[in-house]
Amino acid sequence: MLFIALAYVGLAVHRSALAWSEMKRIGETASRSAVELPEDAERAVGALLVGAEWPDEHRRSGGAYADPWGTPCRLVRGPGQWRVDSAGPDRVFGTEDDLRFRFAPPPPPPK
């Protein structure tokens, strides 16, 4: 029983680390992107990854990219700061286990 509990904790830690790594990469890609992104928060993440080498291609579907728990990540855009959100292990946005990676938005396109 202890072994099963430890294995579960190990898997949870691995998924969280993977989610942070992916969210950081999405944020870095977004901050350099000159691509016109859709308004839809989930499709915006998918649009950033078009043509990108991505290790878990099977988690991209319907124009979105799922976090390690199977929930589509979201790109939240605000003035001066953007962020990538993952719903976390409970798969529900707006709860304590959500993961958020904040970053500076890309510069505006030249006129």
Q: What is the pLDDT of residues 41-91, one digit of tens each?
A: 888 887 777 666 655 655 666 678 888 888 888 888 888 889 999 999 999
**Rounded distance, CA 39 to CA 63, Å?**
12
Q: Quick count: other Cβ atoms within 10 Å of Cβ 75?
A: 23
Q: Cα separation of 85 and 78, whole Å?
A: 13
In whole angstroms, give the CA distance from residue 97 to residue 15: 12
Give the span between the Cα atoms of 44 and 47, in whole angstroms: 5
Which amino acid makes up residue 48? Answer: L
State residue 95's pLDDT score. Answer: 96
